[in-house]
Amino acid sequence: MKLQRLSCAFFLFILIDGAIASAQIAADLKGRVLDPSGAAIANAPIELTESSTNLHQSTTTSSSGDYLFIHLNPGSYRVEVRTPGFKNLDREGVNVIVGQTVSLDLTLSPGGDRQTVTVNSDAPLLQAETSNIETNISGAYVAAIPLNTRNFIQLTTLAPGVELPPGTLLPRINGGRPRTNEYIYDGISALQPEPGQVAFFPILDDIAEFTIEANNVPAEFGRFNGGVVNVATRSGSNEVHGSLFEYLRNEDLNARNYFAPTGRKPEYRRNLYGATLGAPILRDRLFFFGDYQGIKQLIGRTLTSTIPTINERNGIFHNVSHIYNPTTTTIVNGKNVRQEFPGDVINIPFDPAAQALLARFPLPTNGNAANNYSRTANDADHQNQFDVRVDGAYGTRDHAFGRYTYYNEVEQPVTPLPDGSGLISGSALGTGGVPGLSNVRGQQAVANETHIFSPRMVNNLTGGYTRRSNNIIGPELDSTASATLGIPGIPTNAEFNNALPLFTLTGIQQLGPSASTFANFQTSVWQVVDTAVYTRGAHAIKAGIDFRWYQLNTVSPPNPTGSFAFTTTGTNQQGLVIAPGDKLTNGNSIASFLLGQVDIFQIDLQQAKLRPRDYIEEYFLQDDWKASNRLTLNIGARWTLHHPSTEKNNQGAVFNLGTQQLDYVGVDGNSRSARELHYGNVAPRVGFTYLATEKTVIHSGFGIVFIDQSGITTPFTIPQFPFIQSVTQKTQDSVNAAFALSHGPSVAPIPLTPNAGLGQSVYTADRTAGSGYVQQWNLAVQRAVTNNLSVEVAYVGSNIIHVGIPDSNLNQLTADQLAEGASLLTPVTNPYFGQLPPSSSLNTKNIAAAQLIKPYPRFQNVATYRHNSGTTNYNAIEAKAEQRFSHGISFLFAYTHSKLIDDASSVFSSTVLSSPNTSSLIAADTYRPYLERDSSNGDMPNVTSFSGIYDLPAGRNHRFASTGVGNAMLGGWSLNTILSLQSGMPVTVTQATNNNAFAGFSLQRPDIVGNPNLTAGQRTPAHYFNTAAFSTAPQFVIGTASRNPVRGPAYRDLDVSLIKRTRLVEKADLEFRAEMFNVTNTPEFAQPNGSFGSPAFGSITATTTDPRVVQFAIRLSR
C-alpha cells in the first residue's frame, strides 16, 4: 500500500508540475532569440509550421530569450518571429530529427515589422544539446540504400559501435547483448519479453527515419543493456502521395553457393510487392497514411535420405542382417538366446501398427541400400503486412495520431519425406528450419495525444498494445494416434493437432515431426507513457512515467506426442560375435520396427498452460540546463520498480535448496513469485556538452541503465518440471522390448507434491539476486569540417553487472572431489533405491559413488534458472564521418575498434533440464565461473561500414543534359552502396565426449598443447585453425583450453544499387532499380566446428549469407 501511495503521489506531481519531453516519440526544437549584439529578446512571439501539413504551434520567448517546441514529428518546419522594433524573420527548411533536440538560435535585425528577412537553413551539423552517442538514419537513406532482405536492421550497422553477426537480425550495440536492445516504434516498445525479439519489423516504405541511441541515453529511455533503436513512421500531408512497387529475383543471375559449385542451381523465387498512400482527410487538420507489403518466396531444395528398401519393407534381410525372432527368447546357461529367422526373412505377422506406419514411408527412388530416396521441393514463405496511421489537430492546443500495424508470416520448410496422407517427416536433415507449419503474427496499436497547457508546459500521453504469436505445429492426423495408427496409450493433444509421434530407426530417416516442431507462444505488452515538459529560464525540467504490463501464454512441450525408438536390440542375438568376413549385422532396426519391438518411448506431459505475468513501473526526471551560451548540462535519473514475475494460475514451482523439496508458488504461504522486489533501482544519468568553437563540440556523459529482465529470470516463464514432465519407458534388460508398438505405452504423470522432484532434474532460483544493470560512459569530440560534412571521434565504454547467464548445475562435484579419480565410478549400494520414482535413472540398486557425494544425491541436475551473476566489459574507440546531402552526394562512414570481454555471452543457450549433461551449458565448472572469462562470443575488434548515395549531375535541374534527349538518357541516375567489414568472432571449443558428465559437469574442454591459430595463408574451410593444438582431456580433469581460444572468419560484404528515375507526368515518377548483393561474390563462411573429437572439428561446411544475388525492381510514385 505504501508503494501504491508513493506511485500515485509521483504521478500527480507529473500532472501538476509538468513532466518529461517525449524524445522517445519525436523531436524537440529549442534556441534563443537575440539582437545583433547578442542580447536576449524577451516575450518575442514565435510560430512554428510543419511544411507538409501546415499545422501550427506558437510560443513566446522567456526572460532570457529562450524558446522550446517539443514532440515534433520529424520533418521540415518554418519558424517565424514577429516582435516590435525588429524585422520579421522567417526561417525556412528547419529539419528536426527523431529522438534529437535541435538547437537553433535566431538573430533579429533592427527595422520595421513590415520588413521580412527569409533565410533557408538545414538542421545544425553538431550535437550541441545532449551528451549521448547517437546516429540518425534519414528517410532518404532508408529508401535508397540497397538492402538484401529490405529490412532496416541492416542499416543499424551504419552507426559506430554496432555489429551485426552475419545472417542475423540481432545487432549488438556497444557491447550489449543482441536480445536486450530496446526498439521503439512511434514511442511504444516493440520488444517482446520472451525470447527478447521484436514483434515485427516496419516496412521500409513506412519509415520516416530512425535513430540509434548507443550510449548514455537520456533518462526517458531505459530497460536495455546495449542501445535504443528509435523509429518514427510516416504520416500523411496536405499533398496526395503514393507508390506502387515490386522487387523480383530468381536463380538465373545468382552465383552458386561455395559448397555447391556444380550441378543445377536450386530454384529461387522471391517477389516483394506493395503500395503506399498518404493524403489529407481534412486539409490542414486531419491526415491519413497507409501501406501494404507482401512477400512470396520459394527456395528449391533437394534432400536425400535413407528409407527401407523394397526387400526390407517385405521383411527380407538376407543380404543385410542376421535377424532373430524375439518371440523365441529363452535363457540358456544364463544367457538370452533367440532363434534366427530362416534365411533372415521374417515369417511371422508384422505388428499391425507398424504396418500402418510402413505405408507412410514413400518407395525408394533408387536401388541403393543407403541414400535411396531423394525429393526436390520448395521452402515456402509468405508474408503480409500493413500499416494505417491517422494524424490530426483539433484546436490550436491539441495534436494526436494513431497507428495500427499487422504482420503475418506463414512458413513451410522442406522436409526429407513428403507430407503424404497428412503426415510429415523431418529431422536435422530438414534445411528449412523446424519441420511443420510455422505461423508468426505481430500486431501493434499506438495512440498519442499532445496537449499544450501554456507556452511553458506541454503534456504528451502515449498508449500502446503490442502482440506477437508464434505457432509451430505438426501435421494433423485424422484423429488421435490410437484411432489412426492403432497405438493406444498416447495422450490426446488437440493443442498440436493430435500430431504424428516421432519414430526413429537406427540409420533410417525418422518418421514424424522432430521434437522442436511444437510451439505455441503468445506475448502481449500493454504500455502507457505520460510525458510533458516545463521550461523555466534556461532549464527544461523533465519527468515522466513508463508503465508496462507483460503477458506470456505458452504451450511448448519439447515432445508432446511422444517418440518411439527402434534399435537392433529387438532382433539381435545377445553376445553374438560376427564371424570374420561376415558383413551382415547383428539385428536390424527396421526388422525390430516391423515386429513392433519398441526399445525406448519418451513423451513430455504438460500439466498446464503457462501464463507468466510481469508488471514494471518506471519514473524519470531530467533537467537539461543551458548553463551558458556554450555549456549545456544534462542531469537525470530513472527509477525502476520491476514487480517480480508471477504465473496467472500459480502454475510454478521452485526447488528449495534447504528442504530439498518443491515450493509451489502461491500455496502454503509461499510467495507467488520466485524473486523479491527491489526498491533501490535508481539509475542516474549525467552529461555535458560544450561548444568549444563555432565548429567544435565536446560532449561526455555517464549513466546507469537497469536491464529489462522480463520473462528471462523467473523459472516458470518456460515449461519446466513438474508442470512439464518427461516420462520414459525403455527396455530394462537390453533384450526384451519396452512394449509392443500396437499395445502402446503406459504413461502417467508424477503427482504434484513437494517430493515430486525426487529423482528428477529441477530448477531453483535466488530470491534475493540483484537486478542487472549497465554502466555507460563516453567522451566525444565533434567537428564541422564544412557546412555539410561533420566528423566525430569518441571513446565509449560500459560495464554490465549481474547480467543473466545460462542455467548452472548446482548438483556438481567440486574440482577437488573430481580429482579423486576412478573411485568415483565404483558401484556402491544405493540407499535411495525404492524411494525414487521407478522411471528415474537414479532408482537402481547400485549407483556410482560420485552420485552419493553430490550436494543433492537424490536428484539429477539442480539448475539455477538464468541466474544474473554474469559480467561484461566493453571499451571502444569510435569514429564517424557524415556528409549531409549536397551537390548530389551523401555518405556515412563509421569505424569501431573495440574489446568485449565477458564470462557468459548469452542467456538463451542452455538446455540443462531438457537435455541433461549436454555441452550447451556455458560454464565448464559451476563453482569456478572465473574460468569462463574470455573474449566474448560477440567480440569483433574491428568493424567498418560505409554507405553512400550519388546522383549523377545530369538531367533536369542539373548542369549537364538538362533538357530533351540528354535529360531522358542521362537524367535521374543514382548509384548507391553499402560496404560492411567485420572481424571474425571467437569460436567456443568443447570436447565432443564429456568424460565428467557423471559428476554433474555440463561440458568438458580439451587440453591445449600448442598455438591454435593459423596464418591467413594456412587457413582453409577444411582446416580453419590448428586442430593439432588440442588434445583430449582425460577423465577427472576440466581441460586447459579457454572458452574461446580461436576466431572464426571475417565478414566482408559490398552491396550496390543503380536507380533510374523518369518523370512521366507532373509529380509522377517511374523508377527502375538493379540491385546486386555481395557484389564480389565473397563466401561469408560460418563459424568453424568447435567440437573437439568430431570428424568436422576445425572445418567450415556452410556459409551464413547468400552468394552474389541480383534483384530488379520497379516503382511508380507520386
Residue 25 lies in a domain: yes
Residue 1003 lies in a domain: yes
- Complete DSSP assignment for 285-345: TEEEEEEEEEEEEEEEEEEEE----HHHHTTB-TTTEE-EEEEEEEEETTEEEEEEPGGGB
**In the prediction, which pLDDT does 26 show?**
65
Tens digit of each residue's pLDDT (9 = 90 or more) over 620-666: 999 999 999 899 999 999 999 988 888 888 888 889 999 999 988 88
Preceding omega of 745 cis (within 30 degrees of 0): no
User: Cα separation of 1012 and 1047, whole Å?
Assistant: 10
Number of H helices and E strands in the chain, helices first, is: 9, 63
CA count, 13 A, side-chain hemisphere, 1030: 29
User: Cα separation of 199 and 207, whole Å?
Assistant: 16
**In the prediction, which pLDDT does 434 show?**
39
**In the prediction, which pLDDT does 25 show?**
56
Q: Where are the beta strands (DSSP E) in 2-132?
A: 27-34, 45-50, 56-60, 66-72, 75-81, 88-96, 101-103, 106-107, 116-120
Report the range of poorest mean pLDDT among 426-430, 731-735, 865-869, 874-878.
426-430
Closest-CA residue to 1043 (of 985, 986, 984, 1100): 986
Average pLDDT estimate for 102-119: 73
Report the range of poorest mean pLDDT among 76-90, 175-189, 713-727, 1101-1115.
713-727
Instruction: Pick left, alpha or beta for residue 346 (phi over 0 → left; psi -120 to 50 → alpha; otherwise beta).
Output: beta
Q: What is the side-by-side strand order in the sheet with 228-233? A: 133-138, 207-215, 228-233, 182-185, 188-189
User: Cα separation of 467 and 523, whole Å?
Assistant: 6
Q: What is the side-by-side strand order in the sheet with 808-809? A: 762-764, 862-864, 808-809
Residue 497 lies in a domain: no
Using pLDDT thresholds of 50, 70 and 90, give the confidence band for residue 1115. Answer: very high
Top mean pLDDT of 452-456, 860-864, 899-903 is at 899-903
Closest-CA residue to 526 (of 440, 616, 610): 616
Query: Side chain identity at 291, as an amino acid letter?
Result: D
CATH of the domain at 89: 2.60.40.10
Residue 18 lies in a domain: yes
Grid look-up 538465373 returns 252
Tens digit of each residue's pLDDT (9 = 90 or more) over 21-30: 333 556 788 8
The three three-digit cell numbers of residue 880, written as one number: 564517424
Closest-CA residue to 106 (of 28, 33, 38, 30): 33
Grid look-up 568415483 returns 824
CA count, 13 A, side-chain hemisphere, 259: 14
Using pLDDT thresholds of 50, 70 and 90, give the confidence band for residue 590. Answer: very high
Question: Which three-class secondary structure string do you get for 170-229?
Answer: CCEECCCCHHHCEEEECCEECECCCCCCECCCCCHHHEEEEEEEEECCCCCCCCCCCCEE
Q: Is beta strand 457-473 parallel, antiparallel or unpaired with respect to 539-554?
A: unpaired
**In the prediction, which pLDDT does 638 show?**
96
User: Cα separation of 533 and 20, whole Å?
Assistant: 5
Q: What are phi and psi of 402, to 5 degrees?
A: -140, 145
Provide the number of structural domains found in the chain: 2
- Return the exposure string of 554-576: e unless at least 16 CB atoms fall within 10 Å of the residue's CB, then b: bbbbbbbbbbbbbbbbbbbbbee
Residue 790 lies in a domain: yes
Q: Tell me if residue 240 falls in helix, strand or coil.
A: coil
User: Cα separation of 90 and 821, whole Å?
Assistant: 85
Average pLDDT estimate for 711-722: 58
Q: Is beta strand 27-34 parallel, antiparallel or unpaired with respect to 66-72?
A: antiparallel
Q: What are the CA-CA distances from residue 273 to residues 208, 288, 401, 475, 737 (Å)?
A: 19, 21, 27, 30, 56
Which residue, 998, 1020, 1047, sits at the end of a domain? 1047
**In the prediction, which pLDDT does 741 show?**
95
Average pLDDT estimate for 702-716: 69
Report yes or no: 369 and 309 within 8 Å, Cβ to Cβ: yes
Closest-CA residue to 33 (of 77, 89, 117, 101): 89
**In the prediction, which pLDDT does 998 show?**
92
Domain range for 991: 785-876+905-938+984-1047
pTM value is: 0.88
For the cut 90, the answer to whether the pLDDT of residue 577 exceeds it is: no
User: Cα separation of 612 and 665, whole Å?
Assistant: 12
**In the prediction, which pLDDT does 274 show?**
97
**In the prediction, which pLDDT does 1109 show?**
94
For the cut 50, the answer to whether the pLDDT of residue 204 exceeds it is: yes
**In the prediction, which pLDDT does 481 show?**
60
Other CB atoms within 10 Å distance of the CB of residue 23 = 28
For the cut 90, the answer to whether the pLDDT of residue 526 exceeds it is: yes
Average pLDDT estimate for 380-402: 93
Angle at 417 between CA 411 and CA 419, to 5 degrees: 55
Q: Tell me if residue 570 falls in helix, strand or coil.
A: helix
Which residue, 1047, 1063, 1090, sits at the end of a domain? 1047
Report yes or no: 1111 and 247 within 8 Å, Cβ to Cβ: yes
The three three-digit cell numbers of residue 1112, written as one number: 530488379
User: Cα separation of 195 and 180, whole Å?
Assistant: 10
Residue 321 lies in a domain: no
Residue 445 lies in a domain: no
Q: In the 8-state DSSP scheme, what is residue 24? A: T
Using pLDDT thresholds of 50, 70 and 90, give the confidence band for residue 473. Answer: low
For the cut 60, the answer to whether the pLDDT of residue 421 exceeds it is: no
Which residue, 1047, 1065, 1088, sits at the end of a domain? 1047
Q: Tell me if residue 964 falls in helix, strand or coil.
A: helix
Q: What are the CA-CA distances from residue 545 to residues 15, 464, 617, 678 (Å)?
A: 11, 14, 7, 18
**In the prediction, which pLDDT does 967 show?**
72
Residue 675 lies in a domain: no
Kindly state the helix (H) or strand (E) to which residue 13 belongs, with its residue range. Answer: helix 2-17
**In the prediction, which pLDDT does 299 show?**
87
The mean pLDDT value of the chain amounts to: 85
Average pLDDT estimate for 229-243: 93
The three three-digit cell numbers of residue 1094, written as one number: 568430431
User: Cα separation of 81 and 639, whole Å?
Assistant: 39
Other CB atoms within 10 Å distance of the CB of residue 1009 = 12
The three three-digit cell numbers of residue 762, written as one number: 529441477
